[in-house]
Amino acid sequence: MCAGTMVRTGWLVCGCLVVASALVADGAKFEKIGFSPAGRPEKVDHRGPNIYLWRAMDGFHLKTTGKNQDRSTLSGEIRVDGGKFVNVRNLEGLEGGGRKRQKNVDVGWISPEKKIIRFKFVTAGLEDGFNFDVEGDNAEVSFDLNVDGTGEARRIHIGKRGEHPPGMKFLIPAHGRKDAKK
């Protein structure tokens, strides 16, 4: 059984272990991004599945968008090394709501040690997302993301300029310049 708290029903508890294994099974290395993740992206494209990620004064923000009428699955595992997640917000307010037969059931999970977050959003033309902060002066956050099963890093937009990471697995220092914009 998967240790931790499942936030939404509709995703088997043992399924989170299977998903996690699939996310890290390909052996790809995590690469540090070479640009600032500060500031909310200026442009948001609702025409296709995308993940938007930025760091602000109140922590990290992760938002997803999907194509209108087409279901998109956006998922991932986020880990912290040298610290822990704190002030995780909106992971519990996902739209699945535990309703049976809901087409777009979103789920989120955080480990009891507050070192791993896993999420799966099934989106059809809407935005989903959550926010978190990291405690630990030298902490690094690793992201292993999946956009509709593709390896298209161009679907991930980071920081104010919406730059793309080098791959679907990447590292970001947990703390940066103090002048990050919300």
Q: In angstroms, rounded to a whole number, what is the distance separating the alpha carbons of residues 52 and 173? A: 17
Q: In angstroms, rounded to a whole number, what is the distance separating the alpha carbons of residues 64 and 91? A: 13
We report the CATH number of the domain holding residue 102 as 2.60.40
Mean pLDDT by 10 residues, the chain (182 residues): 40 35 54 92 84 95 84 93 96 58 76 96 84 96 93 93 95 71 42
Residue 164 resides in a domain = yes
Q: Which two tokens mark 84?
A: 């822990």
Residue 179 resides in a domain = no
Residue 180 resides in a domain = no
Q: What is the pLDDT of residue 138?
A: 93
Host domain of residue 155: 5-173
Q: How many domains does the chain have?
A: 1
Residue 149 resides in a domain = yes
pTM listed for this prediction: 0.78
